[in-house]
A = this chain, B = another copy of it.
Amino acid sequence: MLSMIITPKFGDVDGLRHINNNVLPQWFELARNPIYRIFNPDYKFETWNLILAHIDFDFVEQMYFDQDVEIRSWVAKVGNSSFVVYQEAWQGGRLCVKGKTVVVDFDFENKKSVRIPDAERARLMEHFRELAE
């Protein structure tokens, strides 16, 4: 499991005085940094090789401004050219949001997906967790 602690900022809260739903995609993106590093150790955009095909979020409980949030991330599936990241947001002992991201190993020049190399595949599996459904 990859864990990242995030402190909400004032503007993350909306008129309902809870964390706005659209903040979650940003927090989950940030928490995927270590996974992006596996494929792009030097973080160079010129040779970047990942693209997102899908993201989803289930909002289970409301989150608030006054407490830190922990984002937990796992790799839930590794296919031929894509993999699934499963993530959860926890605040004050409560599971508040869960979501999945489908990431594709992508050749931006030729605009097509490519097979995930074995080395990256092995690194991904270090964070594997099987999902129930």
Contact = CB atoms under 8 A, between A and B. Distances in A.
Contact of A36 (B10, B22, B42): B10
Interface size class of A (residues with CB under 8 A): 35 or more
Contact of A10 (B17, B29, B42, B65): B29
The 3 closest A-B pairs by CB, nearest first: A56-B56, A15-B45, A9-B30
B10 A15 contact: yes
Interface stretch (A47-55, A84-92, A113-121, A122-130): A47-55
B56 A42 contact: no
A15 B26 CA distance: 15
Interface string A27-70: 00110110010000011010010011111111100100110000
